């Protein structure tokens, strides 16, 4: 990456603007209305499984829920350039179990 001086500061050349997570338009082609920088497309896989009244009782019912978020453990960005919350990384793989007692 070559740097060029500009009023005491250095700037990156166009080759310095690259990422696998963001699609950046070529130099001079960005247009915030028709060709803005975008997050690279991605597909995420979440899964959930549950069972109600697992003990088949009438008075006290027990439910079981299992949830897996980002099963493939994909590394990606979301919510890019949001006014209120900014840019975030996708949550890494997470497994959650929940037992509910209904009475």
- Which residue did the predictor score with more confidence, 71 or 17? 71
pTM exceeding 0.85: no
32-55 pLDDT, tens digit per residue, is: 777 777 777 889 999 999 999 999
51-68 pLDDT, tens digit per residue, is: 999 999 999 999 999 999
Chain position carrying tokens 């975008």: 38
User: Measured between alpha carbons, how far is 80 from 77 in angstroms, rounded to an integer?
Assistant: 7
> Half-sphere exposure of residue 97, counting CA atoms within 13 Å on the CB side?
2
Long-range interactions of 38-41: CB distance < 8 A, separation 24+: 38/80, 39/76, 39/77, 39/78, 39/80, 40/76, 40/77
């Amino acid at each position: 990456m070559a740097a060029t001086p500009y009023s005491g500061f250095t700037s990156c050349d166009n080759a310095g603007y690259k990422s696998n997570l963001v699609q950046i338009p070529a130099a001079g082609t960005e247009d915030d209305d028709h060709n803005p920088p975008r997050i690279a497309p991605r597909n995420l896989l979440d899964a959930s499984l549950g069972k109600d009244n697992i003990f088949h009782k009438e008075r006290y019912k027990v439910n079981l829920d299992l949830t897996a978020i980002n099963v493939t453990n994909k590394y990606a960005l979301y919510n890019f350039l949001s006014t209120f919350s900014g840019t975030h990384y996708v949550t890494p793989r997470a497994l959650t179990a929940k037992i509910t007692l209904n009475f």
